[in-house]
Structure 1
Amino acid sequence: MSSNALTVVTPIQSDKVEKLDDLLSRIGEDIDNKTGRSISFAQLTTVHFLRWVILPEQKDGKRHYPPQLAFESNYDGPLDEHLEELIRVGGPVLARIYGYCAGCPSNVADSVDSFKRFLKRYQLRSAAFYRGYPNHSVQDVMENTQARRAIQDFLDDPERGATLRGLPPEQLCQEIQKYLATVPGLKLERDSEPGPSRLDRFVGRLMDSRPVQLAVGIPVVLLLLPVLVPTALVLRWKESRDKAEPKTKDMVDPRVEGQEDYKVQNQLTHLVEVRPGLFRQLTLRTVLGGINFLAHHYYNRGNLGGIPSIHFARWVIIDKGRRLLFFSNYDGSWERYLGDFIDQAAVGLTGVWSNTRGYPKTRLLFGQGATNEEDFKQWTRDHQLYTQVWYSAHPGESVRNILQNVAVCAQLKSQLKSQEAAQWLLKL
């Protein structure tokens, strides 16, 4: 089952922003619903991650962006089933949340269909969407985690230690399998993961093989040369005229830093204006289209451009193309996450955000930019938003752990020979 993305951005009644902020903040602080007055997120069976974040009103000369409420979820299965589950689990609270939004029907609390139509009306398509483990549902992740923990409990049991110590690998694997068969509710059979499609394999060969790159790339470049040369000249001219943007550090919500680096997983919400003009719009959409293509057909095994810590990420163009919204769910600290971007994916990163206001100086779209580490981190911080509600279905698991658990559980029922058994045990 493939994971999908839902983004809904709704206008907020201008006099209701503070009340909505207060309501969402209380929900975010009670993510486990200990008070019984929030949403029982744990009852959601198809949601990996979700969040609500207020996009604050912004006035700057001729530019005016009214306050908006952004919702994003990473979910399994069809959209209608996802929305119906959300409404079934959190209906009354959802009605209160969207009651502060403009255009919300008065009967949303009593009509699932009305609520679905309202949310779909404000649904936005992702310009680029990345999934760290696209073929594994929430249920898969939880079942694999349960099996992995059962194995660890078995191996860590001091009473079994003397018996297990010194057993050959294949016999130790057999003892583990016998034990797992006695654990109630543990699923040992695993559906085989779908292999790469023909397009995936072709893109993989193209990205990984220098000869194939040359064989395909040179004719394409020669064919597109009449377009690439004038495009590069226009781009360089525009870059030379890009003006430095005033810093917005004082506008950053002071709560932003307080919600970072306190779990295995963390989140980032980022909003920035796109540079004006049709050229920048087309360039941004082209780069994001390329990232989206590669995320679906090449970077689809837990690694985005060399970064192995991202669960889900997406770019969404909002406000009729004038602003770029970015959501990310990642492992580790903010500093390490941005450091990985700079070290591993600076080219792609700069290709996207060089088309936005205030980004560090770039050269020919992909050059410099994020490699200016200090300015890049400050620019990122300047445009971060406080996320009122953020939920993860598996908060204690990193991307690496999730994929490692997949590899371990894929062989739970296999009769492993000595070398295979030794390799399987190393995964633990």
Structure 2
Amino acid sequence: MKNNNIYIDQNAVTILTEVEEGSKDDLCNLLTKMGSDEKGGGIVDFEKISTLHFLRWFLIGNEDVPNTKEGDFENDKLPVTLAFTSNYDGDLDAHLKEILEVAREGIIKVYKNCKGFPKPAAPSDSEIITYLKANTKKNQLFWPAIRGGTVEQLKGESLLRSAIQGFLDSLVQEEKIECKSPKEIKELIVEFVGKDDSLSWALTPRAKPSFSWKFKYYGALVLNLVVFLFPLLILLGICFLLSYIFNKKDNKNRKDISRSQDFDALLKNEDRIFMNQLTVYGALKKPYWFRRTQLRLGLWLFSLNGKYRSNKGKLSGMETIHFARWALFNKNRNVMFLSNYDGAWEIYLSEFIDRSAAAMNL
């Protein structure tokens, strides 16, 4: 395995592009076709993108995100927007370049429906990458479950497990394992793995971060604690007080949420495999200046928790999450939460509410 000896970070990109007027239906039909199977409906073969963990496109329209008629941004509506997000290994430029190498024509088919996309019939790769990066939004929080676990490594470990399971099954059938101790069984497994050239990489420990990576990682923690800890405690106290005041004034008459046909259609695309994805977005409550500040502060704290505490495959005790992110968009008036997780979404949502209700109430 070529990158087993190299530590590679996992990253996330969020790209939002405004859809051309009158192109929403065509784009929606195209994305529906692409989402029909793992081969991208013959438009984008996702499996060929070696740096890609998870990818999604989705449309956000005026009818999807509450506008702000009652607030500071009256009559300022969110245009129909195409969101592209991916979780990937390594460098963003290299990731986008690989996507174009695998599915250039598919990317052009998608983004020719968006405003500002290079107009030539055959735009260059550099023009497309420049366009995509110009529409990239900052992720206020990004959390990967397995730090340094590349796509190649995770696929290799899955094959390794299957091979070891098959080897042990053969030992059981041949009655060669019954009287052996756990240590002896481990030695047999190590011998089996070492003799197979396609598996022997597993005998080498996964690469650890370099000294420079650790210096930046822990240096950032020390800087945050030394410089921001005291002001943060004061700011938190003010935020809690203001939050209490504004929550008292908040409108408690919530609209009933009905189960729409669109929601039922989404459920039909779930549970194809053991993993699913969750996409949630909405508008901030008023007063917007305070809600933005509160949310930014909360996400910054949660980001520190995810980076320095919840960094062993569990996010606040939840083991089912592969990747999660929060991102502000539309001039920081709206927020989205994206997650890739194991199992059915009802169970995942229940677990999220049970373990992170306080965070969700931000």
Say whether the fold is shared (TM-score over 0.5): yes
Tell me the distance in 2 between the aligned counterparts of 1:142 and 1:327: 23
| Residue pairs, 1:245-394, within 5 angstroms | 245-249=254-258, 253-254=262-263, 255-276=265-286, 277-351=288-362
Q: Which runs of 5+ in 2 are unaligned?
A: 1-7, 70-74
Structure 1 position 93 matched with structure 2 position 100: no
Shift of 1:116: 0.3
Distance 1:191 1:110, change over 3 A: farther
Deviation at 1:233, TM superposition (A): 3.0
CA apart distance, 1:257: 2.3
The TM-score normalised by the length of structure 1 is 0.72
| 1:109 to 1:5, Cα distance in 2 relative to 1, 3 A | farther
Structure 1 unaligned blocks of 5 or more: 205-215, 352-428
Amino acid at match of 1:40: D
Look up the match of 1:38: 43
Query: 1:230: how far off?
Result: 4.3
Counterparts in 2 of 1:230 and 1:302: CA distance versus 1, 3 Å:
closer
Q: Distance in 1 between matches of 2:205 and 2:197?
A: 20
What per-residue deviation string (whole Å, max 9, x for no partner) do you get for residues 111-130 of structure 1?
11001001001001101111
Check if 1:64 corresponds to 2:77.
yes
What's 2:20 paired with? 13
Which letter does structure 1 place at the counterpart of 2:103? G
1:10 counterpart SS class:
strand
Indicate conservation of the 8 Å contact 1:314/1:328, yes or no: yes
1:140 to 153, 158, 166: 153
Q: Which moved more, 1:251-260 or 1:123-132?
A: 251-260
The equivalent of 2:4 in structure 1 is none
Q: In structure 1, which of residues 100, 104, 123 is the aligned counterpart of residue 136 of structure 2? A: 123
CA deviation string 1:188-235 (max 9, x = no partner): 34344537958988999xxxxxxxxxxx9xxx67x7776555443322
How large is the RMSD of aligned CA atoms in angstroms?
A: 2.7
Query: What amino acid sits opposite 2:163 in the alignment?
Result: A
Q: Quote the offset at 1:319 in angstroms.
A: 0.3
Q: Comparing 174-183 with 340-349, which one deviates more in the overlay?
A: 174-183
Query: Aligned pair in 2 of structure 1 residues 85, 327: CA closer, same or farther (>3 Å)?
Result: same
Instruction: Decide whether the 8 Å contact of 1:203 with 1:297 is kept in 2.
Output: no
| Residues 91, 109 of structure 1: 8 Å contact kept | no
1:2 aligns with 2:9: yes
In structure 2, the CA distance between the partners of 1:178 and 1:191, relative to structure 1 (3 Å rule), is closer
Q: Look up the SS of the partner of 2:23 in the other structure.
A: helix
Give the match for residue 208 of structure 2.
194
- Matched residues in 1 for 2:175 and 2:112: separation? 62
**Residues 290 and 156 of structure 1: CA distance in aligned 2, closer, same or farther (over 3 Å):** same
Tell me the TM-score normalized by structure 2.
0.84
